[in-house]
Structure 1
Amino acid sequence: MADPVDFSTPDPTVRELLATHSNLSLDVRSGLMLDGVPLQAIADAVGTPCWVMSAETLRRRAAILLNAMKDAGLSISAHFAVKANDHLAVLEILARAGMGADVVSGGELLRARKAGIPASKIVFSGVGKTDAELRLAIEEGVSQINVESAEELEVLSGVAASLGSEIAVALRVNPDVDARTHAKITTGVAGNKFGIPYEEALDLYREAHALPGVKAVGYAVHIGSQILTMEPYRDAYRRVAELVRDTRAAGLPVSVVDCGGGIGINYRDEGAASPNAWAGAIRSELGDLDVRLAIEPGRWIAAPAGVLLASVVLRKAVRGGYPFIILDAAMNDLLRPALYEAWHGILPLSAHDAMLAPETASIVGPVCESGDTFAKTRELPPLQRGARVALLDTGAYGAVMSSTYNARPFAAQVLVDGGTWTVIRERQSIEYLWAHDIVPASVST
């Protein structure tokens, strides 16, 4: 499991977490710094909870990933998974770094276009594209649509034909390969809702060649997220390579293989997956197929670029047990711990707090759900009322999954770049929560 509930090793210390997060440092006076910018200063000015993203980390990690592919001799198109972080500033930074976009909705498609990503560098994935979304993708001229089922292929053919257009299509194959990740983020085993069963893919590819409005160009595969070892990738790519050869043997052309994404990071002490190893797996299994290759990374690029700042509202004593440290951030801000039992590092913003001897405590939010818990029995420096903390590695699947549950407004968002910081999304006002509510006259009279 990528996000296990129980661990056999001690929690990483403050020093160990800093050592594995090169964009963070601890200054004796200014406290925790992100790219040399004091996070206390941001919290003072903007308040908490507050998301903070590092532009330099986004650029650096995109470059590392792209260079790994280049060093492996791969000519590959990289499409950032917009579902990981859809802020326009993030998308524009990555577009300028050479990334396209992998989108799974019409809204994500339009966001990517707004950020300046050309339609020719956008791939449209997802299991439930509506007719309107398919029309939008065709009219925008996206690079390809990754089709997830025979039913979707039929609908897409009808939509494209009605527009007098033809759209490139890759069939997403479910290779029935266990990604060895959390059950809720695995996508490539039989029984998942994703993809076309491997045994049916060639017949459907043959059918696609006979349908109007679509041009079958190849296959796509995506087996999950937070993948830390290369064996699942190799197994999946080996099956796809076999499918490509069988398809060509049947007299059908194949020019594209979309390798998906899912490469994992080091949240705790599990170790991060290596982009070079991933590139090696792609090269060894798919490098001799003479196809255009694509990847769809998201988490590996964005997660380490972000932190969530929060303040301690209360320290609640528990007789005979460990204290609860109640933050002003909650599961409506950062859902991953409640949804996946995900582990996120937590560091005090104060250098003084960071140097204190650790205690065992549970870190929770104020939402009226028992699942509103960030950490159970975590070893942390003792945190008192008013102390501030940073929850680490929240740049992916953090702000983008937020809600306004319990009438809690969306938190502010900040971008650190070149030694300065800028608010890139204002904190939502309480009044905005009901600004678009409509009370019928029959209710108020």
Structure 2
Amino acid sequence: MTTSKHTALSDASIEQAVERFGTPLYLYDAAVVEQKVTELRSCFPEQAELFYSFKCNPLVGIAQLLLRQGCRVEVASGGELTAALHAGYDPSNIVFTSPGKTEEELRLAIRSGIYCINIENMNEIALVDQIAAQHGKTVDIAIRINPDEPQQHAASIKMSGVPSQFGMDPSFLPEAIETALRMANIRLIGFHIYLGTQILQAEAIVRHFGQSIRTAVELADRYGLELRFLDIGGGFGVPYFPKETALDLSALQQGIAQVWQEWGSNLANTRLAVESGRFLMAESGVFVSKVLYTKESKGSHYVIGDGGSHQHASSAFLGRYIRSNFPMRVIGEGVGEQEVTVTGPLCTSTDVIGNKVNLPLASAGDLIVVEKSGAYGLTHSPTMFLSHPVPAEVLIDHERHYVLRERGQFSDCLRGQHPLAEGVTL
């Protein structure tokens, strides 16, 4: 039996939480989140503002924890915007980024008076201007840029330098900028340039930081813009797998300082946004599944738990071609080790959250703990499949437990549904 290095996520603490809140369970440690905020902030100039990427874990309680740490927030939907406002974020500290914002979502953003809408295509410029006119407002926008330069495989999921639904290619920028400048109800205040996600090479982030500033400054000079806002994105990675190494924060800090020494004076009056979700949250959380059964099938050993891929799709690598296992451990009395496949309760062969992993011998009632599950866990998962209740999500903050999401019930699957008897004639 192994023990997490973080006290709040130790075996004893997890067992105590399971006794109170049941399984499956997401459990988060507030102290780890706070530590990650401090670490990331130390890498950037004081002027930079840390924006929490709400998509990675949209719990209102988590958002409030990060608000308490002085974070701003980046949202990607009307639902996320609603939750961010409910969490207490000032609209002046909210930016909205998404390649497919609906008219309804844009109306909500404009009515709410958020700081900036990051624009991703030409049609969106005209739509924002139209809605702004209807509300009698002038709306601040930034144009998201998809640079031409490939990013040398720095990001595990690339969002720039390749064909993408995200942002505008440089060839479209002159038209986009000139169109925005002509519009009566929008104000172009800056640019958004996002490299990608899960980057573990400090030099790649430093290079992107410098390139982004250079691009934004040059565009502002060329078109006579006051560069009031620059969103350089994030993509700070977390090592999940054996051959991965942690992002070198010392190298990142030194590299960013050098870039800032060269370019900082150009951004004296610019609001500088740095985004992060995974780096802040991943290592703060675990996913806990209780072993229901163990079995052998044609020479392979299986551990079947009550939590599966519909509740933690990231650990099951749903939608990816190459599979790697999240780090995981067993809490129980098992001794020795064997190669097992850890599954959930679903009626599909893709419900595998650990494929041929070496774990201590588990028995019914033991707990499977999937590490580094604080980001892109439940929010990233197809929870409707098989209509299981959603897991509880609980935060441990200074030895107190806070239920951030209550455990679902069987009847939740009926919410919003109507029987045929209630049909409406067209």
With normalisation by structure 2, the TM-score equals 0.90
Q: 1:203 to 1:237 in 2, by over 3 A?
A: farther
What is the CA-CA distance between 1:357 and the residue it aligns to?
2.4
2: CA distance, partners of 1:245 / 1:432: 51
What are the superposed Cα offsets for residues 330-387 of structure 1, whole Å, 9 maximum, x if unpaired? 111001123243531111123x43xx32211111112122211112111111112221
* Aligned sequence identity (%): 26
1: CA distance, partners of 2:154 / 2:136: 42
* Aligned partners of 2:230 and 2:271 also within 8 Å: yes
Q: Identify the residue that residue 273 of structure 1 maps to in structure 2.
A: 247
Q: Identify the residue that residue 405 of structure 2 maps to in structure 1.
A: 425
1:58 to 33, 36, 39: 33
What are the superposed Cα offsets for residues 285-343 of structure 1, whole Å, 9 maximum, x if unpaired? 46433233111100001111111111111111133x33011111111100112324353
* Aligned partners of 2:43 and 2:256 also within 8 Å: no
Q: Identify the residue that residue 375 of structure 2 maps to in structure 1.
A: 396
Once the two structures are superposed, the pairs formed by residues 305-320 of structure 1 within 5 Å of their partners are 305-319=284-298
2: CA distance, partners of 1:275 / 1:121: 26
Q: Identify the residue that residue 23 of structure 1 maps to in structure 2.
A: 6
What is the CA-CA distance between 1:188 and the residue it aligns to?
1.3
2: CA distance, partners of 1:182 / 1:243: 20
1:409 to 374, 381, 389: 389
Q: 1:112 to 1:310 in 2, by over 3 A?
A: same
* Aligned partners of 1:187 and 1:223 also within 8 Å: yes
What are the superposed Cα offsets for residues 14-63 of structure 1, whole Å, 9 maximum, x if unpaired? 76xx5xx6415xxxxxxxx5269621121122221111111221122112
Q: Identify the residue that residue 299 of structure 1 maps to in structure 2.
A: 278
1: CA distance, partners of 2:88 / 2:234: 22
Which segments of 5 or more consecutive residues in structure 1 lack a partner in the other structure?
1-13, 25-32
Q: Identify the residue that residue 88 of structure 1 maps to in structure 2.
A: 60
Once the two structures are superposed, the pairs formed by residues 1-400 of structure 1 within 5 Å of their partners are 22-24=5-7, 34=9, 38-69=13-44, 73-176=45-148, 177-178=150-151, 180=153, 185-247=157-219, 248-269=221-242, 270-285=244-259, 287-288=263-264, 289-290=266-267, 291-319=270-298, 321-336=299-314, 337-339=316-318, 340=320, 341=323, 343-350=325-332, 352-353=333-334, 356-400=335-379
Which segments of 5 or more consecutive residues in structure 2 lack a partner in the other structure?
none
2: CA distance, partners of 1:118 / 1:442: 41
Q: 1:238 to 1:415 in 2, by over 3 A?
A: closer
Q: 1:293 to 1:160 in 2, by over 3 A?
A: same
3-state SS of the aligned residue for 1:57?
helix
1: CA distance, partners of 2:412 / 2:125: 40
**Aligned partner of 1:112: which letter?**
A
* Aligned partners of 1:35 and 1:54 also within 8 Å: no
What are the superposed Cα offsets for residues 394-434 of structure 1, whole Å, 9 maximum, x if unpaired? 11111222312111111111111111323332211101211
* Aligned partners of 1:180 and 1:227 also within 8 Å: no
Structure 1 stretches of 4+ with a deviation exceeding 6 A read: none
**Aligned partner of 1:367: which letter?**
L
2: CA distance, partners of 1:112 / 1:161: 25
3-state SS of the aligned residue for 1:225?
strand
CA RMSD, 1 decimal: 2.2
* Aligned partners of 1:77 and 1:100 also within 8 Å: yes
2: CA distance, partners of 1:197 / 1:236: 16
Report how many residues are paired: 410
2: CA distance, partners of 1:181 / 1:441: 56
What is the CA-CA distance between 1:65 and the residue it aligns to?
1.6
3-state SS of the aligned residue for 2:198?
coil
1: CA distance, partners of 2:213 / 2:93: 24
What is the CA-CA distance between 1:235 and the residue it aligns to?
4.3
Q: 1:416 to 1:179 in 2, by over 3 A?
A: farther
* Aligned partners of 1:179 and 1:227 also within 8 Å: no
2: CA distance, partners of 1:199 / 1:241: 19
